[in-house]
Amino acid sequence: MVRDLIIESTALTKSYGPHVALDSLDIKIFQGATGLLGPNGAGKSTFLKTMLGLIQLTSGEGKVLGFDIRTQGDQIRQRIGYMPEYDALNPGMEAIHQVRYSGELIGMNPNIALQRAHQALEYVGLGEQRYRQVSTFSTGMKQATKLACALIHDPALIIADEPSNGLDALARNFMLNTLETTVKLGNRSVLMASHLMDDVERVCDNIVLLHKGKLAAQGKIEDLKAIDREVEIHVWGAASKMEEALSDGGMNVRREGRIMRIGHTGDETYNQILQTAANVGSQVRRMHDHEASLEDLFLVIMERLGHEVKSSDDLLGGV
């Protein structure tokens, strides 16, 4: 199936004086759900602002939904629903009027905006709460209201900046379900910036990974996971000898107790492992391909970039 290209950039560069925030990005994002990842300071916010047509590029070009980000920012923002990471709601307004007003700011007729606000709030699960003031809402309800504001005009692309930020398990689950439904049943596209790898993995099929303003990786998550393929074994006896022998044999080994993960270099890897086990007198009680998570993938990419990241939690610490 040929999917539509919704975001495309060629040599996109944005500098603030000597600081290069985005460095010659060549990005292609197709219809569907895409996760935008990267440590703090990687350029995610700058990238989102350029996609909204809000800042002037230093060089390069880009298109969103076929519109030029340098000259057609208004058209782009009419077709995008942006859900900001931080509070963007007037606490003194009722949810229904907040969402209606956000529709009017897009250019919707007030009556139609009101009608759509009812539908959007119903969709995000706030149907019965729509006449409550935003100040009385929990964090989850505020996030849902922001999503309703983004969805009111049925945008072709929803940019969700940390949509599950500060949500408890139930609200997070509902938020992610809603985004999934919007993509799969609503046939809309979502560009989701998040620090939470599990969330991105659940909603998105594709990722774009930025690092220090440069494109570190982009593509389908499944394809990218192949760069971090490992075989996991559970050994019994002589585990240290086994680890040493595998390392001496030129294999990449990570060990935690009896469990080892060995870099998959080809089909011969399985035989090499079994042969080594036989040589050192260790029992391999279980052997299977390890399914890497997005977090594993992220760590591998960062490692290759020479970036000192131990876990996705480090991303939140301003590395």
Question: Measured between alpha carbons, how far is 203 from 37 in angstroms, rounded to an integer?
Answer: 13
β-pair type (5-16, 253-256): unpaired
Rounded to a whole number of angstroms, the minimum distance from the CB of residue 89 to other proteins is 7
Return phi, psi of residue 83, to 5°: -110, 105
Adjacent-strand bridge partners of 23: none
Interface stretch with other proteins, choices 12-20, 111-119, 208-216, 218-226 (CB under 8 A): 111-119
Asked if 213 and 43 touch (Cβ cutoff 8 Å), the reply is yes
Alpha carbon distances (Å) from 193 to 10, 126, 308: 21, 24, 21
Rounded to a whole number of angstroms, the minimum distance from the CB of residue 179 to other proteins is 11
Q: How many residues bind other proteins (CB under 8 A)?
A: 66
Contact positions with other proteins (CB under 8 A) in 126-155: 126-129, 136-138, 140-141, 144, 149, 153-154
Strands (E), 69-148: 80-83
Cβ closest to other proteins, residue 153 vs residue 195:
153
Cβ closest to other proteins, residue 161 vs residue 243:
161
Q: Is 40 in the site for other proteins (CB under 8 A)?
A: no
Alpha carbon distances (Å) from 162 to 191, 193, 194: 10, 6, 5
Cβ closest to other proteins, residue 94 vs residue 232:
94
* 232: three-class secondary structure by DSSP: strand
**Residue of 10, 40, 59, 109 interacting with other proteins (CB under 8 A):** 109
**Residue of 10, 40, 177, 279 interacting with other proteins (CB under 8 A):** 177
Cα end-to-end span (Å), the chain: 39
Question: Measured between alpha carbons, how far is 47 from 12 in angstroms, rounded to an integer?
Answer: 9
**Residue of 87, 223, 289, 313 interacting with other proteins (CB under 8 A):** 87
Rounded to a whole number of angstroms, the minimum distance from the CB of residue 200 to other proteins is 18
Cβ closest to other proteins, residue 18 vs residue 92:
92
Q: Is 271 in the site for other proteins (CB under 8 A)?
A: no
CA 305, chain centre distance (Å):
19
- Closest by CA to 219, choosing from 17, 16, 9, 27, is 27
Residue numbers at the binding site for other proteins (CB under 8 A): 45, 48-49, 52, 54, 73-75, 77-78, 80, 82, 84-94, 97, 100-102, 104-110, 112, 116, 119, 123, 125-129, 136-138, 140-141, 144, 149, 153-154, 161, 168-171, 173-174, 177-178, 181-182, 185-186, 188
